Structure 1
Amino acid sequence: MLHLLILRYLRGEADVAPHIAGHVEYLERHHAAGTFIASGQTVPAGEGGAILARGVDRAAALAITAEDPFVRAGVAEYSITTIDVGRAHPALAGLVSAA
């Protein structure tokens, strides 16, 4: 299973900014663990971001999003879409099969 984690800001930039360093550390930690395989800002910038996660069940994905400093501070929230991958490009096979 893969999970598409969509982050949406609930507050303005001034409220979000103090939590950026903690959010970046959160991203780096989960990328290093192999749980996050892609992340970035949504376009247009300023609305939020998205993360592609693997190797965890939906309950664990929910728990992971709850630890984001943005969520803990109440300046953002996540929605989660779980994907049962049926087909993938061969270049992604290793990532998807381990998901």
Structure 2
Amino acid sequence: MLHLLQLHYTAAEDEVTPHITGHVAYLERHHAAGTFLISGQTVPTSDGGAIIAHGVDRDTIEQITAQDPFVTNGVAKYTITTITPGRIHPALADVLTDEPLNLQ
């Protein structure tokens, strides 16, 4: 199961800036755990960012997004789109498994 996480800023840039360090640590933690496959800013960057996540169910990804410092500090929110892949490029087949990740 894949999740497209779209991060939307809900506050002005000067209110978001103080929380960037915490947000980057949050991203690094979930990349290291293998949950986040891709993350980056959208274009234009003032809109927010996007993440492609996998290996966890919808409830878990909702819990994970709720822990983002941008969200806990009220400067952003997520839109989550859950995808059940019907076709996967062979180069991604080993990465995109249905096996749940061990997040301990």
Q: What TM-score, normalized to structure 1?
A: 0.97
1:5 pairs with 2:38:
no
Calculate percent identity across the aligned residue pairs: 64
Query: Hey, what does 2:51 align to over in structure 1?
Result: 51
In 2, Cα distance between equivalents of 1:85 and 1:96: 9
Query: Hey, what does 2:15 align to over in structure 1?
Result: 15
Alpha-carbon distance, 1:97 to partner? 2.0
Query: Hey, what does 1:94 align to over in structure 2?
Result: 94
- The residue type equivalent to 2:97 in the other structure is S
In 1, Cα distance between equivalents of 2:48 and 2:38: 15
Alpha-carbon distance, 1:11 to partner? 0.5
Q: Deviations over 1:13-54 (max 9, x none)?
A: 100000000000000000000000000001111110000001
Query: Hey, what does 2:36 align to over in structure 1?
Result: 36
Query: Hey, what does 1:25 align to over in structure 2?
Result: 25
> Is residue 55–residue 97 contact of structure 2 (8 Å, CA) maintained in 1?
no
Deviant stretches of 4+, over 2 Å: none
Alpha-carbon distance, 1:92 to partner? 0.5
1:75 pairs with 2:79:
no
What is the number of equivalent residue pairs in this alignment? 99
Q: What TM-score, normalized to structure 2?
A: 0.92
- The residue type equivalent to 2:53 in the other structure is A
In 2, Cα distance between equivalents of 1:63 and 1:32: 17
Unmatched runs of 5 consecutive residues or more in structure 1: none
